[in-house]
Amino acid sequence: EPEVTQTPSHQVTQMGQEVILRCVPISNHLYFYWYRQILGQKVEFLVSFYNNEISEKSEIFDDQFSVERPDGSNFTLKIRSTKLEDSAMYFCASSGGATNEKLFFGSGTQLSVL
Amino acid sequence: RKEVEQDPGPFNVPEGATVAFNCTYSNSASQSFFWYRQDCRKEPKLLMSVYSSGNEDGRFTAQLNRASQYISLLIRDSKLSDSATYLCVVTPGANAGKSTFGDGTTLTVKP
């Protein structure tokens, strides 16, 4: 069964550093997303991406965040100048094909900002 | 009012019990509804879509009441492996877009 893959599974960084989280969505999907989940809290939408541009973003997705699809397979989330409160599990998801409304999630990257 | 509100839980039930989870949503324009399951510190996984006509998948039954903006999930003959957090998810349109997740309801099934 096709799946969304994310790397790394864990990322530890110092406050103020930049991190790039990587995702390979399901190959025939056209819509890509980033969600985050702070420990003990709900899953929160960050951004959706379609046709090489951001289609929607939440108020969480401020200027420190950016997304990119640098080639035909990868989808990245960059966080510039990380803050302590950026510590969370970041999930990449994709949708498309016959079931465009259903999200398929990767296993997540646990980001710890020290 | 939260956009998606779920039973706070937790639910602790014995094996074989029937358990029901409820969810309400505030945006009447919402079009797609789902139940996802999330195991501890894992990614959410789609359990089932929810339709106005109701749908059943084995021991799981989901119902949508658009007039009341209410979604339910019924689990019959619960198994130990059903222990997880169940997430109610609402999307604004035909595309997944900005899906809104509820806080989740945690179920523990005990022997």
A74-90 pLDDT, tens digit per residue, is 999 999 999 999 999 99
Cβ distance of A42 and B32 shorter than 8 Å = no
Contact by Cβ (8 Å): B48, B87: no
List C-alpha distances in Å: B103 to A3, A40, B86.
25, 9, 9
Nearest to A17 by CA among A64, A70, A72, A76: A64
Nearest to A23 by CA among A88, A68, A55, A79: A68
Residue B57, chain A, CB below 8 Å: the answer is no
Sheet holding A65-68, edge to edge: A5-7, A19-24, A75-79, A65-68
Residue A96: pLDDT above 90? no
Tokens representing B47? Answer: 């359990």
Chain B hits for A91, Cβ within 8 Å: 43-44
Interface list for chain A against chain B, based on CB atoms closer than 8 Å: 31, 33, 35, 41-45, 48, 55-56, 58, 89, 91, 93, 95, 100-108, 110
Residue holding tokens 């995702």? A23
> Between chain A and chain B, how many beta carbons pairs sit less than 8 Å apart?
62
At residue A1, the pLDDT reads: 75
Residue B103, chain A, CB below 8 Å: the answer is yes
Contact by Cβ (8 Å): A113, A14: yes
| One pLDDT digit (tens) per residue for chain B, 111 residues | 789 999 988 999 999 999 999 999 999 888 889 999 999 989 999 999 998 888 999 999 999 999 999 999 999 999 999 999 999 999 887 666 789 999 999 999 999
DSSP B51: -
At residue B54, the pLDDT reads: 85
Q: Where are the alpha helices (DSSP H) in A1-114?
A: none
Nearest to A32 by CA among A108, A78, A91: A91
Q: What is the mean pLDDT of residues A28-35?
A: 92
By CA distance, what is A92's nearest residue in B? B43
Residue B68, min C-alpha distance to chain A (Å): 22
CA distance A45 to B97: 9
